[in-house]
Amino acid sequence: MAIFKGAGVAVVTPMQKDGKVDFDKFRDVLEFQIRGGVDAVIVCGTTGESSTLTHEEHLEVIKYCVDTVKGRVPVVAGTGSNCTETAVYLSQEAQKSGVDGLLLVSPYYNKATQNGLYQHFKTIADSVEVPILLYNVPSRTGCNILPETVVRLCRDVENIVGVKEASGNISQIAKLAALGGGDVDIYSGNDDHIVPVLALGGIGVISVLANVAPGQTHDICQRFFDGDVQGSLQEQLRAMELCGALFCEVNPIPVKKALELMGMINGTLRMPLSEMEPANVKRLETAMKEYGLL
């Protein structure tokens, strides 16, 4: 049974001007997502700036998200780390908070072997009972989880059920789908690849775009599931310029600026992330206007 099917939002973590987590704005963002029709909330991932949250903040944000969402959609918590022991701790604590699933990024900086990745993910999964998605994003981690390793984990470990594939390598995702034979729930980790991944048998997306366009991102998936492949494709193509603008600087700099332009948050980032370049802000504004968000 999949944790969710459709559009899961990789939700931002709003900050106050002094850098503290802004829980009031976070509540507003979560309610906007649920009203907009997202199928799941993924909290404390890359877009949620998990790498600069303290462990205490990390767990507090997860619990607040679970308590606010109140079971209306599944909540999946990012609890990965390049330290296996830390990932076990965060995962166990997130489970206590009532999350519906966990998202485990591949260990960054360490650059583990495929066997090391297998042991890392299995150790974490064995420490909890909730279902787990792997998160493959080699551009950030310097480490690629090969299709063979993903399939092995999903078949050997009962609660490892799928992967967020953000390699951007469609050939690799196709190989994963072929090897997986339906045993791996595949989610696109790139907003510009939603339809291609669905066409390969994927069941959804973990999306940055959904932060600003939850309904539209849901519709890309739902139209595909309903058999309206052409309508799904048209929505995907209509969003391409906005997707490009949302990634013209490293995520989540543009998406927090976009939410600021929409009047939802103040856009504060934690260092080493920095304020968006003026030329890129203009590009983002233009794309948002053309898409109908401003």
Q: How confident is the model at residue 148 (pLDDT cuts 50, 70, 90)?
A: very high
- The two tokens of residue 231 are 């309508």
pLDDT digits (tens, 9 = 90+) for 160-178: 999 999 999 999 999 999 9
Per CATH, domain 6-227 is 3.90.1560.10: no
CA-wise closest residue to 211 among 241, 266, 252, 248? 252
Domains of the chain, residue spans? 6-227
Out of 25, 63, 118, 164, which one is annotated catalytic?
Answer: 164
Of the residues 118, 135, 187, 291, only one is catalytic, namely 135
Backbone angles phi, psi at 224, to 5 degrees: -65, -45
Active site residue 164: yes
Confidence band for 1, pLDDT divided at 50, 70 and 90: confident
What is the C-alpha separation between 138 and 203, in angstroms, rounded?
21
**What are the strands, taking DSSP E only, across the chain?**
6-10, 40-43, 75-78, 101-105, 132-136, 160-165, 185-188, 204-207
Q: Does residue 214 have a cis bond before it (omega within 30 degrees)?
A: no
| The Cα angle at residue 287 between residues 281 and 291, in degrees rounded to 5 | 145
Question: What is the pLDDT averaged over residues 146-167?
Answer: 98
Looking at the chain, the whole-number percentage of residues with pLDDT higher than 90 is: 100
Question: Average pLDDT, stretch 78-84?
Answer: 97
**How many residues are given for the chain?**
294
The three-point CA angle 294-253-86 to 5° equals: 135
The C-alpha atoms of residue 225 and residue 229 are separated, in whole angstroms, by 8
Q: Tens digits of per-residue pLDDT, 269-289?
A: 999 999 999 999 999 999 999
Per residue in 177-193, pLDDT (tens digit) is 999 999 999 999 999 99
